[in-house]
């Protein structure tokens, strides 16, 4: 599993489309929002948590079509499916590699980019914590979508359509944690819901992803 993780991390940095693309898109969204809604600091402060979460979600979505497609094209996915490592473990490692190269950089960049959106001082901790808890769910759900669409021509659009509805609960509770934290309100309920969604996806979706991938590989 460690060798597979190191391999996927190297591919993400060498092949492109993962680490740099997600951060660049996140930066573009954050920079362009003040131009579109105006320079009013009160408006920016009010919408900053939602914009940061939406930008992180879309940035994670950009690299999902490459999560299994490269392995499918060069035939290594068939070898991984017949390896001693369970397919559920393979997909879990791939989700972890996606989070390390896409989700974690977004978590670290969010407080810096929050300055551009005039995020309230009390919101920096909570936007970081909510993204840290919620972005693993985005990677795991994205792995499930990638397993559903692997091998399909132009499956990127279909992948987006399949995954976006599954992302909505994470987006709602993640943005609510950041919004309440920035306003000084209690964050306990949305934070527990966000953590529950992440833990549930990590526990269940690798098995579902492995099941649909076996069907696609037959």
Q: What is the pLDDT of residue 154?
A: 67
CB 210 within 8 A of CB 88: yes
Residue length of the chain: 218
pLDDT at 128: 95
Calpha distance 178→131 (Å, rounded) = 9
How far is it, in rounded angstroms, from Cα 199 to Cα 130?
A: 14
SS3 state of residue 62? helix
pLDDT at 172: 95
Tens of each residue's pLDDT in the chain, 218 residues: 888 888 888 877 776 555 678 888 899 988 888 888 887 888 888 899 999 999 999 998 888 877 887 788 777 888 888 888 888 999 999 999 999 988 999 999 999 999 888 888 888 999 999 999 999 999 999 999 988 888 777 667 788 888 999 999 999 999 999 999 998 899 999 999 999 999 999 999 999 999 998 888 87
* Host H or E run for residue 207: helix 188-217
d(CA 49, CA 3): 37
User: What pLDDT is attached to residue 155?
Assistant: 65
CA distances for 207 relative to 67, 69, 141, angstroms: 17, 19, 12
Q: Give the Cα separation of 14 and 56 in Å (integer).
A: 22
| Residue linked to tokens 């609510």 | 176
Structural domain total, the chain: 1
Query: What pLDDT is recorded for position 16?
Result: 54
Q: Which pLDDT belongs to residue 165?
A: 92
pLDDT tens-digit series, residues 85-118:
888 999 999 999 999 988 999 999 999 999 888 8
Q: Which domain holds residue 132?
A: 1-217
């Amino acid at each position: 599993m460690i060798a597979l993780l190191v391999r996927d991390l190297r591919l993400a940095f060498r092949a492109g489309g993962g680490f740099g693309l997600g951060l660049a898109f996140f930066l573009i969204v954050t920079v362009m929002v003040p131009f579109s809604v105006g320079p009013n600091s009160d408006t920016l402060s009010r919408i900053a948590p939602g914009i940061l979460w939406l930008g992180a979600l879309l940035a994670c979505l950009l690299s999902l079509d490459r999560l299994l497609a490269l392995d499918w094209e060069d035939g290594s996915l068939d070898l991984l499916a017949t390896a001693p490592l369970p397919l559920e473990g393979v997909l879990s490692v791939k989700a972890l590699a996606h989070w390390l190269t896409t989700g974690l950089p977004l978590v670290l960049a969010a407080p810096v980019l929050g300055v551009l959106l005039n995020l309230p001082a009390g919101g920096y901790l909570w936007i970081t914590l909510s993204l840290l808890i919620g972005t693993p769910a985005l990677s795991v759900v994205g792995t499930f979508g990638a397993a559903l669409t692997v091998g399909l021509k132009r499956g990127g659009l279909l992948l987006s359509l399949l995954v976006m509805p599954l992302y909505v609960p994470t987006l709602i509770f993640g943005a609510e944690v950041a919004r309440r934290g920035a306003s000084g309100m209690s964050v306990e309920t949305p934070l527990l819901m966000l953590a529950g969604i992440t833990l549930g996806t990590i526990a269940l979706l690798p098995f579902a992803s492995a099941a649909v991938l076996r069907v696609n590989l037959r």
